[in-house]
Amino acid sequence: MVIPDWKDQEWNPEKPESYAGIFHFRFWRFGEWVDVVIDDQLPTVNGLLVYCHSKDSNEFWSALVEKAYAKMCGCYEALDGGNTADALVDFTGGVCEPMDLMENGFKEDEEKRNELFERVLKVHNRGGLISCSIRATTAEDMEARLDCGLVKGHAYGVTDVRRVRLGHGLLAYFKSDKLNMIRMRNPWGQREWNGAWSDSSEEWQRVSMSERQRIGVVVQDDGEFWMTFDDFITHFTDLILCRLINTSYLSFHKTWVEAVMRGSWRVHSDPLLNRAGGCINHKHTFLQNPQVELNRIYRMHATQKKVGGSTYINSRSVFVRIDLPEGRYVIIPTTFDPGLEGDFLLRIFTDVPSVCKELTVDEPPNTCWSGMCGYPSLVTQVYVVEANGLAGQDSDGVSDPYAIIRCEGNKVRSPVCKNTRSPVFDTKGVFYRKRGNKPISIEIYNHNVLKDTFMGQVTLQAEQGEFRQTLHLKGKGDRRENDLPGTVTVEIITSSLLTKI
């Protein structure tokens, strides 16, 4: 995509008259592909290219791409010491995940190390781009060469990732039937790793040429080198995985559903209109930030339990990966400090459609129909925490329970909790109530293949205030006064101020 219609732009010696002296490129910026057109004039000194160049003196694509990227960024100087993750996103439109190899226990924990290798292998096999580096802590460390041959503060490109199965003749020496290997390239084309499995290392001397061909590795003195993944974790400090997220409907691999939201941080004197609230440290303004939720209608005004977040960093983009059960979630994009203005792009990838949207309205609007249909006088948040001692309705003595909260014709259903008589529902519902004297009900059902079975219910008046209760399950209809096995624990907040919750 970076070089569209490259065959039409290639020099054709049979049709020299078709050469126009201009080239067309595309880069991904803020959610869309940006077209960049340049001429064929490249900076040289004494007839040699100044910046990016190829070993082949007749190959110019890399220098032309660099010129186009410099034009988009403003100048060549803007490319000096840039952010690798940002560049990978610009060239692919993918999603970059920066990883700190020092803080996540990869060196000490073999299981974590193996899990990371599987992730790196999957990204590589699915066409993603991978970069790594050794962090330079001082200006003097930048581009400093270590005894092992690696260079600090220098981005290496990962060109291959393999799980190599060794032949029987090599098992005794390497004490393993397989090795996790990774191949990297120094963009300078020189200064390689000189440790185990480097080009002239003892390890390669023990592997015959036929064995090398069998395991699919090639050793050349060209700035490209192999090392074991264990050595990689030992020496490198930072890893960037740039994934090309698979959103295709027809695919043999896992697919994701993407939702794209554009928004802005803007300062306003009215707290209900301010959208630059800063991080959660600023409790009075945090919820004034833009909000995105799956199925909530109105903005959140009371801080709820945090289930995940990213680290604040001075970077163009921030990535967070989190595994969440089915439920309702609010995403709050923020700057660290309040009062900072700017635009942002939020990309959300989920297993199933999230149907997310920005929350812009603080409370139900008061329209001309409100006099006829009524207007809410109360807002109530019902939090179904858990249940205990439920009846075992399945053949194995347990159940697959779920909860339904009902209020004035609206309902919220929890996910099914498998194989338990003491489920943790952890489900909330927010209701804007027109009839405060009408009770709220919480019903518990056992999930079955054909028809779900009723396990009990509780009813709440939900008067104004905050309280927590543990209530015994009751029947319904003519048996609503009968006790049934089990209790439900709920937390209720009710207020006449509709922007309370």
- Catalytically annotated residues: 154, 186
- Copy the structure tokens of residue 211: 């064995």
SS3 breakdown of the chain: % helix, strand, coil, rounded to 5? 15, 30, 50
Closest CA to 155 of 218, 237, 62, 217: 237
The half-sphere exposure of 250 on its side-chain side, counting CA atoms within 13 A, is 0
Question: At residue 161, what is the residue type?
Answer: V
- Copy the structure tokens of residue 84: 């690798």
Q: How far is it, in rounded angstroms, from Cα 17 to Cα 409?
A: 73
Q: How far is it, in rounded angstroms, from Cα 205 to Cα 219?
A: 11
Beta bridge partners of 358: 292
Those residues with Cβ within 8 angstroms of residue 297's Cβ, 6 or more apart along the chain or in another chain: 359, 361
Q: How far is it, in rounded angstroms, from Cα 384 to Cα 492?
A: 9
Say which DSSP state 286 is in: G
In three-state secondary structure terms, 461 is coil
Q: How far is it, in rounded angstroms, from Cα 490 to Cα 442?
A: 9
Distance of CA 443 to the CA centre of its chain: 35
For 97-113, the DSSP string reads EEEETTTSSTTT-HHHH
Q: What spatial distance separates the first Cα and last Cα of the chain, rounded to whole Å?
A: 46
- Copy the structure tokens of residue 466: 């905050």
Those residues with Cβ within 8 angstroms of residue 205's Cβ, 6 or more apart along the chain or in another chain: none
Those residues with Cβ within 8 angstroms of residue 267's Cβ, 6 or more apart along the chain or in another chain: 274, 275, 276, 339, 341
Q: How far is it, in rounded angstroms, from Cα 448 to Cα 450?
A: 6
- Copy the structure tokens of residue 386: 């858990």
Question: At residue 160, what is the residue type?
Answer: D
Q: How far is it, in rounded angstroms, from Cα 381 to Cα 134?
A: 49
For 203-214, the DSSP string reads HHHTS-HHHHHH
Q: How far is it, in rounded angstroms, from Cα 421 to Cα 389?
A: 6
Query: Which conformational region is residue 197 in: left (phi greater than 0), alpha (psi within -120 to 50 degrees), or beta?
Result: left
